[in-house]
């Protein structure tokens, strides 16, 4: 497994070389740069989340459960594998933090590469950072993040046992001239997703989780490669649709609601809970069922 991670590191280096070329094209060719629309006027991907309501409530009805410890991982080869993965993810995070491949790089306060357990069985992937995430450089730390923490706990896991990231690594804003405004969030547009998707693909390839849980329609459509609605994608496992990497093993993905959508529509929580239970059943997690 160690050599597989090293192969991924080599792939990452090749990707970084390609990124340099893209940066050059964006800088040197006005027509190419213009193809990446300014954030303020960008058309959002169908099915994206509208800005989070200011009066959203954190009242949740996900059951609570004690965290379940992951299977024992004490062998020497697993230690080596973890070190390789950590190094590869750290290198990738440094690239993301200095990335300016799309216009979001010019308006962010902090890029948000993602965080969590490099050996996670489960990865949660949202659409992009919001106000709080932009300030802290960490994924899902605002109100929606607090709800995601409760969802993870309801599955019988701790935040430290999963990996959390987004499709776009920088904050997409409806009004980039006023980044201090609340309620200034939007979904990344198609061009921004196309620019950024290699980063999440590399992260998935390095971590190689058993399951990815796509949070919301934007992440689901990007990773499943299906133009259907979130409702059509929910309720079943899909194969991941990745453009830039080949996975060492099959990784399955399910789609569920974004926590911000659950804050606006608490009635959807029972459906989201059913989605999470699909993964729990596969992993043998008991969680705390209603």
Q: Does 215 engage in binding with ligand SF4 (CB under 6 A)? A: no
Q: Does 26 engage in binding with ligand SF4 (CB under 6 A)? A: no
Q: Does 218 engage in binding with ligand SF4 (CB under 6 A)? A: no
Q: Does 101 engage in binding with ligand SF4 (CB under 6 A)? A: yes
Burial class of residue 25 in the structure, from the number of CB atoms within 10 Å of its CB (0-12 exposed, 13-18 middle, 19+ buried): middle
Q: Tell me how far, at minimum, the Cβ of 89 lies from ligand SF4, in Å.
A: 15
Query: Where are any strands of DSSP class E within 61-151?
Result: 115-116, 122-126
d(CA 147, CA 157): 14
Q: If we measure between CA atoms, which residue out of 18, 24, 260, 13 comes closest to residue 144?
A: 260
Q: What is the contact mask toward ligand SF4 in residues 115 to 154, using x (rule: CB under 6 A)?
A: ----------------------------------------
> Computed from CA positions of residues 104, 169, 191, 198, in that sequence, does the dihedral angle turn out positive or negative?
positive
* Candidates 2-10, 73-81, 101-109, 241-249; binding stretch for ligand SF4 (CB under 6 A): 101-109
The answer to whether 172 and 62 are in contact (CB under 8 A) is no
In the list 196, 205, 278, 279, the residue contacting ligand SF4 (rule: CB under 6 A) is 196
Q: Tell me how far, at minimum, the Cβ of 126 lies from ligand SF4, in Å.
A: 13
> Computed from CA positions of residues 198, 199, 200, 206, in that sequence, does the dihedral angle turn out positive or negative?
positive
State the residues that interact with ligand SF4 by CB under 6 A. 96, 99-102, 104-105, 111, 168-170, 192, 195-196
């Amino acid at each position: 497994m160690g050599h597989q991670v090293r192969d991924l590191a080599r792939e990452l280096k090749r990707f970084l070389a390609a990124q340099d070329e893209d940066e050059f094209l964006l800088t040197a060719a006005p027509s190419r740069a213009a193809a990446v629309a300014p954030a303020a006027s960008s058309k959002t991907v169908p099915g994206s989340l509208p800005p989070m309501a200011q009066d959203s409530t954190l009242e949740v009805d996900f059951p609570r459960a004690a965290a379940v410890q992951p299977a024992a991982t004490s062998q020497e080869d697993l230690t080596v594998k973890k070190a390789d993965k950590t190094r590869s993810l750290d290198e990738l995070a440094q690239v993301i933090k200095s990335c300016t491949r799309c216009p979001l790089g010019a308006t962010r306060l902090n890029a948000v590469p993602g965080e969590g357990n490099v050996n996670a069985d489960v990865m949660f992937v949202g659409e992009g950072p919001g106000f709080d995430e932009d300030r802290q450089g960490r994924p899902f730390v605002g109100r929606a993040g607090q709800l995601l923490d409760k969802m993870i706990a309801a599955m019988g896991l701790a935040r430290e046992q999963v990996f959390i990231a987004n499709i776009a690594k920088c904050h997409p804003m409806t009004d980039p001239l006023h980044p201090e405004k609340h309620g200034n969030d939007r979904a990344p547009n198609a061009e921004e997703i196309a620019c950024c998707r290699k980063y999440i693909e590399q992260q998935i390839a390095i971590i190689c989780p058993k399951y990815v849980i796509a949070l919301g329609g934007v992440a689901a459509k990007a990773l499943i490669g299906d133009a259907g609605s979130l409702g059509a994608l929910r309720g079943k496992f899909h194969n991941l649709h990745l453009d830039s990497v080949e996975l060492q093993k099959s990784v399955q993905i399910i789609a569920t609601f974004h926590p911000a959508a659950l804050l606006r529509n608490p009635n959807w929580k029972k459906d989201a809970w059913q989605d999470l239970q699909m993964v729990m059943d596969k992993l043998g997690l008991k969680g705390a069922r209603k």
